[in-house]
Structure formats: C-alpha cells, structure tokens
Amino acid sequence: MSYYKHHVFFCTNQRSNGESSCEDFHASAMRDYAKQRCKELGLHKDNQVRINSAGCLNRCELGPVVVIYPEGTWYTWVDQADVDEIIDSHLVQGKPVERLLLD
C-alpha cells in the first residue's frame, strides 16, 4: 500500500543540449501551482496527496509530463486549466482525465 493516496510527480527537467524538456513549459511553476491548489483544497492533509518534482521521466517529446502513483497514470498538460482538471477530476473525484492521458 502506498503511503499517500496520490503521489504526483511533475517532470521539471531542463535539458542542457537544446532538446525539448518539460521545464520549457514552466513545469516548476505548474508544480508549485498544483501544490498550492492542493493545500487550498485541504488535499495535503492525512497523506491524501503529495506533489513532488521528478527528474527526467524520459517523455519530454510528448510535452510536459506528470505521473500519479500508485495508479501509474501519465498525463501531459498545456496550461493551468489542464492542471486544475487533473486535480479536480483525478485527485478529488478519482476519475482520470481521458483527454490528457499519455499511452
């Protein structure tokens, strides 16, 4: 059993060789936003949700990446509205956001 109900990792990698990376899309800022929003919703209490940075998840070519464990659900996102939808649907309601899923 996982310590957290949902453990969320935002890839915040910045590649130095010029290749596309998640930080090109302000992934650290989105991670900080998600962390604050989860606190505002009270999701950080009682080990419900933990938001963390991850090093390279090796899928940067697909756009910014976030993965949620223990489910192992992989998402991409475009903007803050997508991150809000992941929080509201997946973390609060337990329903994956189909349109943002990565294969």
Residue with the two structure tokens 């990376």: 21
Q: Which of 21, 28, 30 lies closest to 77 in space, CA to CA?
A: 30
Domain chopping of the chain, boundaries: 6-100
Predicted structure pTM score: 0.92
Specify whether the CB–CB gap between 23 and 13 falls below 8 A: yes
Nearest 5 degrees, angle CA 77-CA 70-CA 51?
50
Architecture of domain 6-100: 3-Layer(aba) Sandwich (3.40)
Q: Which of 63, 49, 56, 54 lies closest to 100 in space, CA to CA?
A: 63
* Per-residue pLDDT tens over the stretch 35-92: 999 999 999 999 999 999 998 888 877 889 999 999 999 999 999 999 999 999 999 9
Tokens encoding 1: 């059993």
